[in-house]
Every structure is written in C-alpha cells, then in structure tokens.
Chains A and B, each alone.
Chain A
Amino acid sequence: MTGFRPTILAFCCNWCSYAGADLAGVNRLQMPTNVNVVRVMCSASVKPEYVIKALSQGIDGVLVLGCHIGDCHYMTGNHRTAKRIPLTAKVLETVGIDSRRVKLDWVSAAEGDKFQQVITDFVEVVTGLGPNPLREVRF
C-alpha cells in the first residue's frame, strides 16, 4: 500500500478537542497532515447521518473527538455521542464497512499530545485498512 494517503475527517468539539488541536499546533507537535478538522459545537451534534454520509462518499476514516465524560460544556452531550457512535460503527460493520474506520475518543483542551497520539494512531490504522471500498462504488 505504498503511496496511499487516507483522507480523514475529524469532528472536534469546540470546547475541548478543538482547543486541544490548537494546543498541539501551538506546541508544534508533528502529525500526519491528511486530517481535515471540522469544528462542531459539541460532539453530540455529530449525528450518525454525517458519519455515514462521509463514509458513503469515499472518506477513508471518521474521527469523532469530544470532551471527557463529565466535562461536557452542555452537561450530557458526550453521553449521547458515547452511545451513538459505537452503534454507528457496529451498524456499518453489519453492512460491510470496517468498524475501525469510525473512531470515538475524548481529548480535553490540555491534551495537545494526546491529540497528536490519537491522530497518528488513527491514520496508521486507516492506512493499514486501505482505501474506502465505497470510493470505487458508483451509485
């Protein structure tokens, strides 16, 4: 799989993970550049529909990052995410998309190095999985 660079979508919550990403940038931590960060107000606003749509249009991996459980700006927002995203991954596995292409993780505003770690690991996993099979499928 030489030369394959996955396209990855990362939904980052405004209050924690986006600030974490910012901190990683300020600290000049090196990480793969094929991640497109989408800033959302809360990880709970990432509905399963968006994840499914991204994957069905050929994105290789979707990363959902939110505040740690208990730290949500909207009190119980990330509880919702914690239930929705695993379900989405499982349903995608049922119809034939590897569930490792969807990942949920918690990154707080102080965890720039964790952000780097999560991105690096995820890009590695998705590179190993190869391109999204739905990219070839034309409807």
Chain B
Amino acid sequence: MRIAFEEMKADRLLAARTEHGNVAPVLLARGDVPGELRTDVPYQMANILLRVVPYLGSDRVAVVARKCDEKAIAEMSKRGLLDPGKVSLIGLACDARQVSECRCSDPCPSKVHIGECVKAAPADKEVEDLLAKTVPERLEFWTAQFRKCNKCFGCTSNCPVCFCDECLLEEKTFTPEKGIPPGFAFHLIRSIHLADKCVECGECERACPADIPLLALRKMVNRDVKELFGFVAGDGETTSPLLTTLDGEPMEDDHDVC
C-alpha cells in the first residue's frame, strides 16, 4: 500500500483500516503510520472520497478503488464534482466470494494493483426470477419488500452516486415526516433518480437493515435504461441520455446535474 506514495506520487491515501475492532475509512498523509489496512471489506471509497475532496486543496489523493468505485468516480467527474486529475486509482480486484455476493458482471478494474481478477458472475438469478413473474405478482413481491423499509436512509447515505445538494427524499412532499414505512413511492423515486448513474456496487443492499433486495431493483432499472437508451452508467465520456436532447445534443441549461 505504501507503493501508492512512491509509485503514484500522491499526497494522500484513502483506504479502509481496522480501528477499534471495526473497519473505518482513513485518510493517510505521507509518513503516517499505516496501521492495519484492509482490502477484504467490500466498502465503497468513492462516496467518502467525494466528501473529503473539498478539504484537500491541491493535494493529490490515491484511493483504493474497485471497478464500481472507478465507475462511480467517472460518474462524479463527468458531472464536474471531482477533478479526475487529482485522483489516482489503486485498482483492487474483488475476490470470487465478493463477486458472487454482488452478482457482479464487471468485477475487474482497468488497472489491477492488488489481488487478481476473477471471472464475472453469471446472469443474476434473482433478477431473472423477478422478471419472469407476471405484473401483479411483481407488485405483490415489491409491496411486501417496501413495507419492511424503516426510512433509515442508509441506502441514500452510503450510495456513491447520490450526490444531489438537496435530497428530494428529505422533502415531506415525497416522504411523510411521520410514520414508517415511507410508502410505495420512496424506493421508486430513488430508483428513477439513480437510473442514469447507478454503478451496481450493491452498497444499498449491504447497508439495508431490512434486507430489501435493492441491488436487484437497481439492476432491473439499469436493464430498462439500457433497453430504452442503450446507455450503461460508469464511463467517463457518454453523457447521460436524460441530460441530452433527442438528437443527443447536450441541453443548454445543464444546471440540473442530478
């Protein structure tokens, strides 16, 4: 891990390490004691990177990034939230267990520094099963799932691509102030909002205390977006189809990055 400083000439390193028996993100400067750095936990660093970048000034930061982190960082820099020149990525390849947990179709980072690439998981069984159901059956399944939601906002705060300044779901128009569950609309609004940027990292599903299969929902929505617009989130060049006109020209008034 120290190689990050010598090889990449970065000023800071963002990684996860054991702190008081738990895993916590840590921002190291050159010469700090690294402690027990962890690469076996599937936590997203992109989200934390976005939070710390405003305080770093002109420092260059190296971050331990999986493929999904890499895609999330591409989505952020595409929207001008992050300067990609100031971020170097230390590619971390997921192991077979993590890939099968996320049912990941694209686990290999563009440049691997740690670990070895494993094969992508086969097509997601859960999504296939859900899409094989009839429309009323799906409704039954999802109402039962959404009823478990206790409005903890874990999915929102852990999401690497949830970066609007003002969260729509914190308005009482869409989420009632009192009472749980927050209703059928809550997770659907989130899905629609993330439709053009979700990188399928699975952080929402891991964060969810109620075990709602959110990753399956995200994958289904991403599949819809792909069918409609042929767009897959996660590369730095293509502008989201929701932010372009029908001819693919960018909109004139692109203040609305979310």
Identify the A interface with B (CB < 8 A). Answer: 48-49, 52-53, 56, 69, 75-76, 79-80, 82-84, 86-88, 90-98, 133-134, 137, 139
Q: Which residues of chain B have C-beta atoms less than 8 A from A139's C-beta?
A: 146-147, 181-184
Interface of A, helix, strand, loop or mixed by DSSP: helix
Question: How far does the Cβ of B159 sit from chain A's closest Cβ, in whole Å?
Answer: 17
How far is it, in angstroms, between the C-alpha of A69 and the C-alpha of B140 when the chains are bound?
37
Q: Give the 3 A-B CB pairs with smallest separation, nearest first.
A: A96-B139, A96-B138, A56-B184
A53-B174, A91-B195 known; A137-B228 Cβ under 8 A: no
Supply 12 A–B pairs (Cβ within 8 Å), ascending by A.
Answer: A52-B189, A56-B183, A76-B251, A79-B246, A83-B229, A87-B224, A91-B188, A95-B138, A96-B143, A139-B147, A139-B181, A139-B184
Is the Cβ of B140 less than 8 Å from the Cβ of A96? Answer: yes
Is the Cβ of A80 less than 8 Å from the Cβ of B242? Answer: yes
A75-B252, A87-B242 known; A137-B143 Cβ under 8 A: yes
Identify the B interface with A (CB < 8 A). Answer: 131, 135-143, 146-147, 168, 173-174, 181-185, 188-189, 191-192, 195, 217, 220-221, 224-225, 227-229, 241-242, 244-246, 251-252
Interface of B, helix, strand, loop or mixed by DSSP: helix
* Closest residue on chain A to residue B179 by CB atoms: A139
Question: How far does the Cβ of A88 sit from chain B's closest Cβ, in whole Å?
Answer: 6
A76-B245, A86-B228 known; A48-B192 Cβ under 8 A: yes
How far is it, in angstroms, between the C-alpha of A137 and the C-alpha of B182 when the chains are bound?
13
Question: How far does the Cβ of A42 sit from chain B's closest Cβ, in whole Å?
Answer: 12
Q: Which residues of chain B have C-beta atoms less than 8 A from A137's C-beta?
A: 143, 184
Is the Cβ of B224 less than 8 Å from the Cβ of A94? Answer: yes
Indicate the member of B143, B192, B241, B244 with the most A CB atoms within 10 Å: B192
Is the Cβ of A90 less than 8 Å from the Cβ of B252? Answer: no
Is the Cβ of A48 less than 8 Å from the Cβ of B252? Answer: no
Is the Cβ of A94 less than 8 Å from the Cβ of B221? Answer: yes
Is the Cβ of A94 less than 8 Å from the Cβ of B138? Answer: yes
User: CB < 8 Å: which of A56, A87, A96 contacts B195?
Assistant: A87
How far is it, in angstroms, between the C-alpha of A30 and the C-alpha of B242 when the chains are bound?
37
Is the Cβ of A53 less than 8 Å from the Cβ of B241? Answer: no
A52-B188, A133-B139 known; A87-B147 Cβ under 8 A: no
Is the Cβ of B188 less than 8 Å from the Cβ of A56? Answer: yes
Q: Which residues of chain A have C-beta atoms less than 8 A from B246's C-beta?
A: 69, 79, 82-83
User: CB < 8 Å: which of B147, B184, B220 contacts A94?
Assistant: B220
Is the Cβ of B141 less than 8 Å from the Cβ of A56? Answer: no
